[in-house]
Amino acid sequence: MRELWGLGRAIADGQTNGYSLAVGRPAWGDSGAQAFRTGARHPDAVILATLAVSVFHLDSLGVKILGEIPQGLPAFAVPWLSEADLLKIALGGGAVALIAFADTSVLSRTFAARSHMRVDPNQEMVALGAANLAAGFFQGFPISGSASRTPVAEAAGARTQLTGVVGAIALAALLMFAPNLLRYLPTSALAAVVIAAAIGLFEFRDLQRIFRIQQWEFWLSMLCFAGVAVFGAIPGICLAVVVAVIEFLWDGWRPHFAVLGRVPGLRGYHDMKRYPNAARIDGLVLFRWDAPLFFANAEPFQQRLTEAVADSPTPVRRVVVAAEPVTSVDVTSADMPRELGLALADGIALHFAEMKDPFRDKPERFELTEVFSNDRFHPTLGSAVDDYLGDRAG
């Protein structure tokens, strides 16, 4: 934001370099905006801008150029570290890794959606790590999925990973045989190509769709965007991560829950709030908790289940927790079933149905078998109801 403010002040003070604007503006129109509107992919404007700077010596008139490029390939070198550098490298490396992860993840999903392809995020991270490891031994910069080069490559017609191979070979040949070929490339033309291509990453229609579907998510995205614009990339991404964790905890702290009943003409057991005509089974409370159990929602789970028991129109003899949505339980909330079993009034048994196998294996590790025997666990909600009806009839 400070850079944008400084740019605006410089333009208002008349510090614009007309020659830089003149050589950069055609590159914007030809290689950028038109490429996304009409499919034009001609680099003529950039080539002409480079020739114009070289022939008319516009660099002497204030036009910034790429300048001299060292000849030859980078040499192999082992990056030895001193103790004084470890903290700086750890902090800087962590920040770069965070940006690289966010940049690569967003770019891969965006372009995969456009081309109707599937992307393996784990494979992307493996490739990213291998590339950075190799770059470290050849004095290279950190590598990530580029939010500038990727749109430019797509606008030029790139469709496969072979583009990167061809680009690497061309770049190596340039460094070895013609390092000064791009010496007079004006940075304004290069920036115009990058900016125009990156405009294609702005998914305004998706933002409108998010606003229609869930305004909370829209305003979260606007908050993260403002964080990057005001504080910079690293603080902005850290803010986005913190906000995402808070949102996850908030959603997990107050998940949807339901008391289930039988609906005439509809198989299974369903939420009685959605189906007011659903019938309860006398003496039985079927309770469903639609979230994993962890430290933030263990207490609300116990409170909501106790309230369901208290609101039952008939004396409760058994409570069955439909545990299919409960995909995991952390150590903090592991004691909650024991406390709940003890908190329920005498004569009320606590059972579980449709529990996932990984979750089903945890009672023994959590030392809950002394409270809940194997007959307290049922493979389906229907079998749990049948078991209750059979015990009541007996």
Confidence of residue 38 (pLDDT cuts 50, 70, 90): very low
Where does CATH 3.30.750.24 sit in the chain? 256-393
Q: Is the pLDDT of residue 369 over 70?
A: no
Q: What is the pLDDT of residues 61-116, one digit of tens each?
A: 889 998 888 888 888 888 877 666 777 788 888 888 888 887 788 778 777 877 77
pLDDT given for residue 364 in this prediction: 66
- For the domain with range 256-393, which CATH number is right: 3.30.70.260, 3.40.47.10, 3.30.750.24, 3.30.365.10? 3.30.750.24
Burial class of residue 90 (count of CB atoms within 10 Å of its CB; 0-12, 13-18, 19+): exposed
Task: Indicate if the pLDDT at residue 37 is higher than 60.
Answer: no
pLDDT of 240 reads: 82
The chain-wide mean pLDDT, for the chain, equals: 82
pLDDT in tens, 141-173: 888 877 667 777 777 778 787 888 888 899 899
Residue 275 has pLDDT above 90, yes or no: yes
pLDDT given at position 201: 67
